[in-house]
């Protein structure tokens, strides 16, 4: 989610300013490379409607490798740009802004341990660099030999001494930091001939003419180094402006939102379902039934507000309203219930026809492959206000498509649909004496011979009559019961139990108007057969 929000803010800012949004695959850290992540990113952004102007051909879903008029800065994978980075790293060495370092991992670990034992922290910087094994301390001949004969050396940036770096962030304002608190970061590694994030991004941002960089606050400590790199290259006049977004926070307590929070509380933190290398799968918003526009709208308001009470925005409206001035510095606490609310609102906005098309595959998945479209449209129109997800339509009103006599065959548990939440499979749903698909507590409360007789007579009173709508049928049902001075609640709940398997659900007239009087009578007969 955090990565998508970062991409979204970049996209909104670029579109609002009439600029271009570029996708660049930063795959130079071989230790953190994740197979399948690149295609996942592209597919996730495409699902969200965050379409790049450069970097990815959305028609093929591939990262562009060859320059063209539309993609002039290709290739867009940093691993395919390796020769570029070494050239610029060597340029810094030649200018005295960087140096070759030959310290082994074991040497550096020994230094760290010694410093820790002395109650200090080892930093590779102006205080220690002249005590270490690098081109600043070794003879030129030894340096040349090591460069030619070994492969475990790096190029480190030579951080200036006692210099105040003055920086401006679009969100956090003016920041100053003294270079004496910073270390000499590795820029390039001979072992794999790849740059680190710092060198690769500064070089690529310059060559790709990037004007703004919006990224997560975890990169804020690196901003002084990046400022110094731009100065070292002589690119300060074209240096992009930076903005560092606050973290997404967990729903309860403090701290950054994580996959564990989602697993624990039952909500997704990934845009699409993700399967890790060890085979563990994580829920995705797409697979959990969220609309992409609801997901995007929800994300946009996690850390930004339009300055008023408005909450629902199309992508075009977000582009028009977005501003960096209204992006908050503090972390944004994620609320999974609010995410559901957004989806519910977007579901309500969709036409009955569109929702019908979305519901038909759900019905097919549940074994109803030949549903009449006009009937489905009527059902959708009746229940859409009760639903949060399209899948809820089945949960809410499966009994409109199948009778209680078919519940077991279709895997429907009585009462589960009406409650609009899954029934715990460990719960004892049925009484031992009630093997029929009727919720036991409701059957015990409402089903008896007297109630059943009144319910049956009420349904049969509707035979042969024509009603303009469910409201007219409801008036006839209530009138019939009142004329006979029968207890309205008992008759209605008994009817609903026979029709739906539970004493909860849609209005009796709504149900009978949809399924028809003969079907309603048949369900009463079945209930009498199973319940006595």
Which are the catalytic amino acids?
259
137 vs 139: CA distance, rounded Å: 7
Three-state SS letters, 35-52: CCHHHHHHHHHHHHCCCC
For residue 243, what are its two tokens?
A: 């903005």
447 vs 127: CA distance, rounded Å: 86
**Number of neighbours of residue 475 by Cβ within 10 angstroms:** 12
185 vs 99: CA distance, rounded Å: 11
> How far is the first Cα of the chain from the last one, in angstroms, to the nearest whole number?
54
264 vs 202: CA distance, rounded Å: 39
- The gap from C-alpha 112 to its chain's centroid, in whole angstroms, comes to 40
For residue 159, what are its two tokens?
A: 């951080």
- The gap from C-alpha 465 to its chain's centroid, in whole angstroms, comes to 52
- The gap from C-alpha 359 to its chain's centroid, in whole angstroms, comes to 22
CB of 430 closer than 8 Å to CB of 423: no
Element (H, E) at 9: helix 2-16
Q: Which residue has the tokens 């908050």?
A: 328
- Give residues with Cβ within 8 angstroms of 199, minimum separation 6: 85, 88, 89, 187, 188, 229
Give the CA angle between residues 77, 79, 81 to the nearest 5°.
80
CB of 184 closer than 8 Å to CB of 199: no
For residue 402, what are its two tokens?
A: 């199948």
- Give residues with Cβ within 8 angstroms of 221, minimum separation 6: none
Point out which residues pair with 212 in neighbouring strands: 241
Q: Which residue has the tokens 């929070």?
A: 261
For residue 280, what are its two tokens?
A: 């563990």
DSSP secondary-structure letter at 81? G
């Amino acid at each position: 989610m955090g990565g998508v929000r970062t991409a979204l803010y970049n996209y909104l800012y670029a579109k609002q300013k009439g600029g271009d949004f570029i996708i660049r695959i930063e795959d130079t850290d071989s230790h953190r490379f994740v197979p399948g992540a690149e295609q996942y990113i592209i597919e996730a952004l495409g699902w969200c409607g965050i379409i790049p102007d450069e970097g990815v051909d959305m028609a093929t879903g591939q990262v562009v490798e060859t320059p063209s008029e539309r993609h002039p800065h290709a290739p867009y994978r940093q691993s395919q740009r390796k020769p570029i980075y070494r050239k610029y790293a060597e340029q810094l060495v030649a200018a005295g802004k960087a140096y070759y370092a030959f310290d082994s991992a074991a040497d550096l670990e020994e230094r760290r341990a010694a410093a820790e034992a002395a109650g200090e922290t080892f930093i590779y910087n102006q205080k220690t660099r002249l005590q270490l094994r690098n081109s600043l301390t070794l003879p030129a001949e030894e340096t040349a030999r090591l460069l030619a004969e070994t492969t475990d050396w790096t190029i480190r940036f030579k951080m200036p001494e006692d210099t105040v770096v003055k920086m401006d962030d679009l969100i956090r304002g003016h920041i100053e930091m003294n270079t004496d608190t910073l270390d000499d970061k590795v820029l390039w590694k001979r072992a794999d001939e790849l740059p680190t994030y710092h060198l690769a991004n500064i070089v690529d941002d310059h060559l790709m003419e990037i004007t703004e960089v919006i990224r997560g606050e975890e990169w804020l400590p690196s901003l002084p180094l990046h400022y110094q790199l731009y100065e070292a290259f002589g690119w300060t006049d074209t240096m992009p402006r930076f903005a560092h977004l606050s973290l997404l926070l967990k729903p309860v307590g403090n701290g950054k939102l994580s996959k564990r929070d989602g697993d624990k509380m039952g909500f997704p933190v990934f845009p699409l379902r993700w399967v890790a290398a060890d085979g563990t799968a994580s829920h995705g918003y797409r697979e959990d039934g969220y609309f992409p526009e609801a997901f995007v709208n929800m994300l946009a308001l996690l850390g930004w507000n339009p300055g008023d009470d408005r909450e629902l925005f199309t992508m075009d409206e977000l582009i028009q309203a977005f501003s960096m001035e209204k992006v908050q510095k503090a972390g944004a606490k994620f609320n999974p219930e609010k995410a559901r609310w957004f989806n519910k609102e977007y579901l309500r906005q969709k036409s009955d026809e569109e929702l019908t098309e979305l519901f038909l595959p759900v019905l097919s998945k549940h074994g109803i492959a030949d549903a009449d479209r006009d009937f489905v449209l009527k059902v959708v129109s009746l229940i859409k206000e009760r639903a949060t997800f399209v899948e809820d339509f089945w949960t809410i009103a499966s009994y409109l498509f199948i009778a209680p006599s078919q519940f077991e065959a279709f895997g429907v548990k009585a009462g589960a649909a009406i409650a609009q939440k899954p029934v715990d499979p460990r719960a004892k749903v049925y009484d031992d004496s009630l093997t029929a698909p009727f919720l036991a507590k409701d059957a015990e409360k409402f089903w008896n011979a007297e109630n059943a007789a009144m319910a049956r007579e009420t349904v049969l009173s509707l035979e042969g009559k024509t009603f303009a709508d469910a409201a007219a049928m409801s008036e006839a049902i209530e009138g019939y019961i009142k004329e006979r001075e029968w207890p309205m609640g008992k008759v209605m709940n008994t009817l609903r139990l026979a029709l739906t398997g539970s004493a909860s659900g849609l209005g009796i007239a709504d149900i009978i108007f949809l399924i028809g009087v003969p079907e309603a009578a048949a369900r009463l007969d079945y209930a009498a057969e199973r319940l006595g």
